Amino acid sequence: MKYVRGLFSFRGRMNRLQYIIVILIGYIGSLVMFALTWPSLRTMGDLGVFAGLAILVVAFWILFAAMAKRFHDIDKPGLHSVLIFAPFQGTFWPIALLFKRGDATDNKFGPPPAGFGG
């Protein structure tokens, strides 16, 4: 349950390996689930459309939470995750966060993330 809460939390820090795992499993997994279920959800009418939109909201929440924690790891405010809406930077930042090394010591967002390497 701790890991599920970690997907949705905007608190703390996340290292690069944790970030890629969350992006692959949480974010892309949600989008794949949406793509696979969308045809059948549409046949359910309004309830299906609502369910499909709920899946997308969950996917984007996971992305924003992961990006916020990665920004925390490089000692930047998590609010920087809204950069995903910027025309050119929107595609750049989620990828750039894969390569930017986080702080090796404590910063104002907490201690370095434990586990899964740096």
User: Do the domain assignments include residue 6?
Assistant: no
Q: Where are the alpha helices (DSSP H) in the chain?
A: 2-8, 16-22, 28-42, 46-73, 89-96
Residue 38: CA count within 13 A, CB half-sphere: 10
User: Do the domain assignments include residue 80?
Assistant: yes
- Backbone φ, ψ for residue 110 (5° rounding): 125, -175
CA nearest to 10, candidates 79, 87, 101: 79
User: Do the domain assignments include residue 43?
Assistant: yes
User: Do the domain assignments include residue 40?
Assistant: yes
Domain that holds residue 92: 13-96
Residues 24-62: pLDDT tens digits? 887 788 888 888 888 888 888 888 888 888 888 888 888
User: Do the domain assignments include residue 24?
Assistant: yes
* pLDDT reported for residue 13: 93
* pLDDT reported for residue 107: 93
> Does the pLDDT of residue 118 top 50, yes or no?
no
User: Do the domain assignments include residue 46?
Assistant: yes
Token digits for 55? Answer: 């899946």
State how far the Cα of 35 lies from the Cα of 107, in Å rounded to an integer. 39
* pLDDT reported for residue 52: 83
Cβ-count burial 20-31 (b if 16+ within 10 Å, e if not) = eebbeebbeebb
Count structural domains, the chain. 1
